[in-house]
Homo-oligomer: A and B are copies of this chain.
Amino acid sequence: MKKKKSGVLSRAGQRRQREKEGRRDAILKAAMALFASEGYRQASMERIADEAEVSIGTVYINFKSKEEILAHLMDEIAYEIRTIVGETFRASEDPYEGMKKSGIAFMTEFCQKYPEKIIILYRESVGKSPLLEAHREKMHKQLISDLQGAVETLKEKGGFCFRSGLSSEIIATCIGGMYERIAYQFIIWQDRTDELDEASEEVVDFLIGGIDSLRKK
């Protein structure tokens, strides 16, 4: 008789594992599509299960509540953004250039490609419940904190100081807000993806100008 080695999975076990993950992904994918197209509230667990070709029960094996699905989606999206933006930023020698490139990457590599994700991030995750609101707050703080890190890098490499101790936080916060509304304006509310490249260029210049104006003279 075969013995199971701990930590090692039999072929059948591997297949089950694959299927399990496939199911989980299918649920997440279905939920994302539904949340973005019909709205979090309108997307019922039944619809999500149907769309994922899974029973409601299975959804509840994988996620303990509807809220949790959204929370998970938010985390996933935030992680992707932090990855793409962070990598782009770090890939440049010049932090100014990194700032610009990462902003453009966010707009054109992320927002433009995955409109559902920004709809979830900026619209469907807003004001849903105290729990999700706490989650959203944490997520945005992380994003802002990343941004603030980049701003600090800029400052250090540039060898200058900001007007106050608050400045880098203000800058990071402003940048976050700018990107959000630009995404609304060019993707969520209107489909002007063709203008997004130009818009992104101007946005990054705007923010560079903003940053410079908070330098200590």
Question: Which A residues have a C-beta under 8 Å from some C-beta of B?
Answer: 1, 23, 39-42, 53-55, 58, 123-130, 133, 137, 140-141, 144, 163-164, 166-167, 169-171, 173-174, 176-182, 184-185, 189, 195, 198-199, 202-203, 205-214
Cβ–Cβ < 8 Å partners of A133 in chain B: 123
User: With the chains together, A127 CA to B133 CA distance in Å?
Assistant: 13
27 contacts between A and B (CB under 8 A): A1-B58, A39-B129, A41-B129, A123-B133, A124-B127, A126-B126, A126-B127, A127-B127, A137-B189, A163-B205, A164-B198, A164-B202, A166-B198, A166-B199, A173-B182, A173-B185, A174-B177, A174-B181, A177-B179, A206-B210, A206-B211, A206-B214, A207-B210, A209-B209, A209-B211, A209-B212, A210-B210
Cβ–Cβ < 8 Å partners of A199 in chain B: 166, 170
Contact flag A140-B184 (CB < 8 Å), given A126-B127, A174-B203: yes
User: With the chains together, A133 CA to B163 CA distance in Å?
Assistant: 39
A sample of 4 more A-B contacts (CB under 8 A), given A39-B127, A171-B206, A174-B182, is: A144-B185, A166-B195, A169-B185, A173-B178
